[in-house]
Structure 1
Amino acid sequence: MRILRNNGLTIALLTAFLLSMIGMTVAGHYHENEQLAQHGLPAISITQYLTNENFLSALFENWESEWLQMATYVVLTAYLFQKGSAESRDPEEPPEGDKPRYPARWRHGPLLRWLYHYSLGLVLLLLFILSFLGHMLASHLASNAEAAIHGNSAQSLLAYIGGARFWFESFQNWQSEFFSTAMLVVLSIFLRYKGSPESKSLSASHDDTGG
């Protein structure tokens, strides 16, 4: 079918996402009930688990790092270069003239045109901020729920984000995203994958920049 051919990449990635979400939910549900049983607490249903602070914290924690990675990558590749990488513009070539073709609703007013120019980076940044806030709030609730199980007092949100746990959860994901992206940039100088637009052609030299 033409729709599958034209949208196969998105369909495959969303299918992988849904299967991974199912796996995360099922495994996380079992793990959560194991933890509750160890503390003599009743098990929760899978529906309850989907609104559980531990599930939401883990979910937003991972989304946060992915959106940060993509937003940073989109912005940095507009201004910075890596000679020889398929992921970079060529620093030796002047930027191509790009005459925008504005949709009708974006044509009027400098603000709308500016938003159109930078819409991809702005939306990715917004998704990062929303996921960051979701992670922060859910992780705070998870920390207080854990404290209650152990008979400790709850923390305020301000006190929680001033502590180490939240930032450890964030930085442990951020570092892996930045490292993997840097490796993609560097490895694309020397390695190839036939047919992929993310790779240089098999005939390109290591010094050739761009896909």
Structure 2
Amino acid sequence: MRFLRDNGLTIVLGVATLTMIGGMLLTGWQIYNQELADHGASSLGLSQYAMSGHFLSAVFENWESEFLQMSAYVVLTAFLFQRGSAESKDPDEVLPQDEDPAICAADPDMPWPVKAGGIVGSIYAYSLGLVLMALFLASFLLHLRYSAYAADAQARLHGQMPMTITEHMASTQFWFESFQNWQSEFLSTGVLVVLSIFLRFRGSPESKPVSAPHRETGS
């Protein structure tokens, strides 16, 4: 029970993610097979569809936008402020995450990269943003790859010439797929930043205390 209490947030989010992917797989499979049937083509089995460009392009298209949002959020909140927001640092205070890690050199629980110092410590100091950006780049490239496969399958269904991955990357279709998700991620983050100035959710670390004044910055 202690394990579930200590890791409940990760467990629930992980289960929710797998559930939504399963729902996406099953519904997308039916939609795609109907499209194939409309063009007189053979339907795909579930495992075949799970490896298709139609499904994987949609998966990585969404992952790409989420990792872009989170990496941009981590980096931007290190340098930019929104007074009154629970999602911003206070521009008038130096918070623990901004302090020189050497101050805690005597702490036995300090992460080993900090103890190692040098280039390892420097990389670790920005590792969250770096890893999120790497995940964004990986998802972007996988989205490009499977989006090109999906476009190739569509072209064959309609008796058209398929494009290369390079040609697909330069196409308006690929960038439309990306921009339609990217804009929503920046919008939702911006809305959260502003709403957390005036609104509260008791018990959430993403909210200021219910009694906190609107001008108070940070959670």
TM-score of the superposed pair, with normalisation by structure 2 = 0.92
Amino acid at match of 1:67: F
Q: Distance in 2 between matches of 1:77 and 1:158?
A: 34
Partner of 1:24: 24
Q: Residue 14 of structure 2 aligns with which residue?
A: 14
Q: CA deviation at 1:106?
A: 5.4
Structural RMSD (CA):
1.3
Counterpart amino acid of residue 134 in structure 1: L
Alpha-carbon distance change, 6 to 108 in structure 1, aligned in 2, over 3 angstroms: closer
Counterparts of 1:104 and 1:187 in 2: how far apart (Å)?
38
Give the Cα–Cα distance (whole angstroms) in 2 for the partners of residues 196 and 106 of structure 1. 30
Q: CA deviation at 1:111?
A: 1.7
**Equivalence for 1:89:** 89
Q: Deviations over 1:70-106 (max 9, x none)?
A: 0000000000000000000011223443425653355
Where structure 2 has 5 or more consecutive residues not aligned to the other structure, the ranges are none
Report 1:94-133 matches (<5 A).
94-96=94-96, 97-99=99-101, 102-104=110-112, 107-108=115-116, 110-133=118-141
| SS of corresponding position for 2:202 | coil
Return the alpha-carbon distance in structure 2 between the equivalents of residues 170 and 23 of structure 1.
22
- Give the paired residue count: 211
Are the aligned partners of 2:101 and 2:114 in contact in 1 as well (CA < 8 Å)?
A: no
Paired position in structure 2 for 1:58 = 58
Structure 1 residues 105 and 82: alpha-carbon distance in aligned structure 2, compared to 1, 3 A threshold = closer
Q: How far apart in 2 are the matches of 1:192 and 1:109? A: 40
Structure 1: state its 5+ residue gaps.
none
| Partner Cα distance (2:152, 2:92) in 1 | 55
Q: Per-residue CA shift, 1:114-141, capped at 9, x if unaligned?
A: 1110110000000000000000011011
- Structure 1 runs of 4+ aligned residues shifted over 6 Å read none
Question: Which whole-Å CA distance do the structure 2 matches of 1:109 and 1:191 have between them?
Answer: 41
For residue 162 of structure 2, what is the aligned residue in structure 1? 154
TM-score normalized by the length of structure 1? 0.96
Q: Deviations over 1:157-182 (max 9, x none)?
A: 22211110000000000000000000
